[in-house]
């Protein structure tokens, strides 16, 4: 009986609140838009945070997936990818990994299907798909034979690339010419497959000759799946145990000798794959989330001020209702029902604004932002928006409830507004204004610090002069397998580019300055040994040749 009567009272209060808001369209529009801006900004930002940081990776048991790197302070490597010798050691001697694979970015030229096409690819070892627990939609994945030198060349394509090829051809008869070599397509990945930040359209096998492997060629990113119950700390300890085994199982590089590996002081760096996917942006995104949360607090303070002014104009109405028998609880429900309706209206409009903002973020997202395809308004983000709307309505609705839920009967008189009442009202509104100014000041200082940091980053010396005068051109040769012919072709292209008006000088390189991807190997300078025996390091990309031009 009590619950049904309470429900009826709540419905009655909500209907009354809706009628009151309809009578004040200007107030309703201003308050709704103010809240919508705060809720929409927070919802859009949470959509980015959830998609980049919180959303599970689209693989089975993603918490068991880890990436494996190394640290080598002795040669100046804060974080370095793996060498084939480490891959074989980890796969054969690990106690906590179900399986280990390595992979790297690749870019290949596909010919024989019309115009030559440059295609992004992933070069992977055999366990790559099985670690992710991804089964090809058609055909099969790579096996141990596919990674052997001299084995038939095979590739796996994504569902989207297969559709571009026609999707009607029998898989067994599908052949591609990749970098001038014939490849057989043995599988098609499921629709929607995506690995980290890559946009690869095919997988090609990495081929390592274990018998000829030496400790060099640090060029590959490690991927592993933990055994059930294994922890990240156990994985770190296991990799630390296996690092000395690398030098026992594989000979040193003939060009480097044995001293450099000991001086490198290799250490493990195992991380969750989810952390690898989000990159280094976690702290930045959480700071931005906190700053935009302040925007919502400012919006709530603004609406609370509007609501307080409106409630002051209804003092006599509330006093009449109190005189007719309405208690404090009843009047509180009346005021809170209006604030909750405003909060929900602001949440609906804010969600619509957030949807547009998320589309804009996905369209204009910089390359540094990972997992852009996972950013969106999924049910979790919509639940977050709803969770913001109700507390926001309660937050700004509490102020008038405290002030006016117990009206004085003296408000029924024309002279009921005493000087002390006026001072109290102005004191409350002044406190809200001070709060808004304080929050705005925090936002202003934070924004100033971020702008200063951005300017400082732009002013960092890249290590070469006139960076604005540098241009890059990617050179992709197709159908040329002979190394001597490739070299002659590159020289011919350089001579042609030198004739372009405005070009001052040109050089070929496999890795541009500040390029984060590539191969890391120690570089030993003859007759210049270091006192500690350690070797400096270089970085050189295994990707496309790049021509660097300097303009006049």
Instruction: Write the pLDDT tens digit of every residue in 378-398.
Output: 899 999 998 888 888 777 777
Least confident stretch, 87-91, 134-138, 329-333: 329-333
More confident residue, 102 or 463: 102
Q: Band of the pLDDT at 497, cuts 50, 70, 90?
A: confident
- Report the half-sphere exposure of 349 (CA within 13 A, side-chain side): 16
**Confidence (pLDDT) at 237:** 95
Per-residue pLDDT for 290 more than 50? yes
Pair of tokens at residue 417? 């507004």
**Confidence (pLDDT) at 313:** 56
Per-residue pLDDT for 72 more than 70? yes
**pLDDT tens, 116-155?**
888 889 999 999 999 999 999 888 999 888 888 888 899 9
Q: What is the mean pLDDT of residues 403-414?
A: 52
First to last CA, the chain: 88
Instruction: Give me the chain's average pLDDT, please.
Output: 78
Distance from CA of residue 509 to its chain's centroid?
30
Per-residue pLDDT for 548 more than 60? no
DSSP 401-418: HHHHSS--GGGGSTT---
Residue whose C-alpha is closest to residue 263's, from 526, 68, 73: 73
Q: What is the pTM of this model?
A: 0.74
Distance CA 407, CA 416 (A): 11
Residue whose C-alpha is closest to residue 296's, from 400, 449, 431, 436: 436
Q: Do the beta carbons of residue 307 and residue 400 sit within 8 Å?
A: yes
Q: What is the mean pLDDT of residues 406-430?
A: 53
Per-residue pLDDT for 457 more than 70? no
Detail the DSSP E strand segments found in 385-461.
Answer: none
Q: What is the mean pLDDT of residues 285-311?
A: 80
Per-residue pLDDT for 424 more than 80? no
Q: What is the mean pLDDT of residues 7-12?
A: 64
The answer for residues whose C-beta is within 8 angstroms of residue 341's C-beta and 6 or more apart is: 14, 17, 18, 21, 393
Least confident stretch, 270-279, 350-359, 422-431: 422-431
SS3 272: strand
Domain ranges of the chain: 2-58+280-458, 65-278, 467-551
Q: What is the mean pLDDT of residues 195-200?
A: 82
**pLDDT tens, 339-382?**
788 888 888 999 999 999 998 888 887 766 778 878 888 899 99
Q: Band of the pLDDT at 225, cuts 50, 70, 90?
A: very high
Give the orientation angle of helix 25-49 with respect to helix 379-404, to 10 degrees.
140
More confident residue, 173 or 547: 173
Q: For residue 356, how many other CB atoms are within 10 A of its CB?
A: 11
**Confidence (pLDDT) at 448:** 76
More confident residue, 428 or 254: 254
Q: What is the mean pLDDT of residues 4-29?
A: 70
Whole-number percent of the chain with pLDDT over 90: 21
**Confidence (pLDDT) at 86:** 94
**Confidence (pLDDT) at 409:** 47
More confident residue, 457 or 378: 378
Give the orientation angle of helix 25-49 with respect to helix 282-313, to 10 degrees.
170
Per-residue pLDDT for 415 more than 50? no
**Confidence (pLDDT) at 481:** 60
Residue whose C-alpha is closest to residue 326's, from 23, 24, 12: 12
Least confident stretch, 226-235, 413-422, 444-453, 486-495: 413-422
**Confidence (pLDDT) at 545:** 35
DSSP 295-335: HHHHHHHHHHHHHHHHHHHTHHHHHHHHHTT--HHHHHHHH
Q: Do the beta carbons of residue 186 and residue 156 sit within 8 Å?
A: yes
The Cα-based distances of 25 to 15, 17, 390, 512 in angstroms read: 16, 13, 21, 60
> 3-state DSSP helix/strand/coil percent for the chain, to nearest 5?
50, 20, 30
Whole-number percent of the chain with pLDDT over 70: 72
**pLDDT tens, 460-482?**
777 777 777 788 777 766 656 66
Q: What is the mean pLDDT of residues 201-226?
A: 90
**Confidence (pLDDT) at 351:** 92
Residue whose C-alpha is closest to residue 59's, from 122, 156, 139, 135: 135
**Confidence (pLDDT) at 203:** 93
């Amino acid at each position: 009986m009590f619950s049904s009567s309470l429900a009826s009272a709540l419905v009655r209060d909500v209907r009354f609140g809706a009628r009151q808001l309809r009578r004040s369209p200007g107030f309703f529009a201003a308050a709704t838009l103010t809240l919508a801006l705060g809720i929409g900004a927070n919802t859009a930002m949470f959509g980015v945070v959830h998609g980049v940081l919180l959303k599970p990776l689209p693989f089975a048991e993603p918490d068991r997936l880890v990436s494996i790197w190394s640290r080598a302070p002795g040669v100046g490597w804060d974080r370095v990818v793996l060498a084939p010798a480490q891959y074989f050691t980890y796969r054969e001697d690990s106690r906590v990994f179900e399986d280990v694979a390595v992979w790297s970015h690749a870019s290949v030229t596909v010919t024989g299907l019309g115009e030559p096409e440059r295609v992004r690819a992933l070069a992977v070892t055999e366990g790559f798909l099985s670690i992710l627990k991804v089964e090809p939609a058609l055909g099969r994945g790579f096996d141990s034979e596919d990674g052997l030198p001299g084995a038939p060349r095979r590739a796996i394509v994504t569902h989207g690339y297969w559709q571009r090829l026609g999707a009607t051809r029998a898989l067994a008869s599908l052949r591609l010419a990749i970098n001038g070599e014939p490849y057989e397509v043995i599988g098609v990945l499921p629709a929607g497959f995506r690995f980290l930040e890559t946009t690869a359209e095919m997988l090609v096998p990495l081929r390592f000759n274990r018998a000829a492997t030496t400790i060099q060629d640090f060029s590959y990113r490690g991927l592993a799946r933990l055994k059930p119950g294994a922890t990240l700390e156990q994985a770190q300890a296991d990799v630390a145990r296996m690092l000395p085994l690398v030098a026992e199982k594989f000979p040193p590089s003939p060009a480097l000798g044995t001293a450099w590996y000991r001086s490198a002081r290799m250490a493990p760096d195992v991380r969750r794959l989810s952390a690898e996917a989000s990159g280094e942006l976690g702290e930045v995104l959480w700071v931005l989330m906190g700053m935009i949360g302040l925007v919502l607090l400012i919006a709530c303070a603004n609406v609370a001020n509007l609501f307080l002014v409106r409630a002051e104009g209804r003092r006599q109405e509330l006093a009449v209702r109190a005189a007719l028998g309405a208690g404090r609880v009843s009047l509180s429900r009346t005021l809170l029902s209006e604030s909750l309706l405003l909060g929900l209206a602001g949440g609906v409009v804010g969600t619509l604004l957030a949807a547009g903002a998320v589309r804009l973020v996905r369209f204009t997202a910089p390359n540094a932002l990972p997992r852009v395809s996972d950013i969106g308004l999924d049910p979790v983000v919509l639940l977050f928006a709803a969770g913001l709307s109700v507390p926001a309505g309660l937050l700004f609705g509490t102020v008038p409830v405290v002030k006016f839920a117990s009206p004085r009967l003296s408000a029924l008189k024309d002279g009921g507004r005493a000087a002390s009442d006026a001072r109290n009202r102005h004191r409350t509104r002044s406190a809200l204004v001070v709060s808004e100014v304080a929050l705005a000041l925090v936002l202003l200082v934070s924004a100033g610090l971020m702008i200063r940091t951005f300017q400082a980053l732009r002013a960092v010396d890249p290590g070469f002069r006139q960076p604005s005068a540098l241009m890059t051109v990617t050179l992709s040769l197709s159908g040329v397998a002979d190394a001597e012919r490739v070299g002659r072709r590159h020289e011919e292209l350089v001579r042609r580019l030198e004739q372009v008006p405005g070009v001052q000088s040109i050089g070929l390189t496999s890795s541009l300055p500040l390029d984060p991807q590539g191969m890391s190997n120690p570089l030993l300078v003859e007759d210049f040994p270091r006192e500690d025996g350690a070797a400096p390091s270089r970085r050189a990309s295994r990707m496309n040749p790049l021509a660097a031009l300097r303009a006049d």
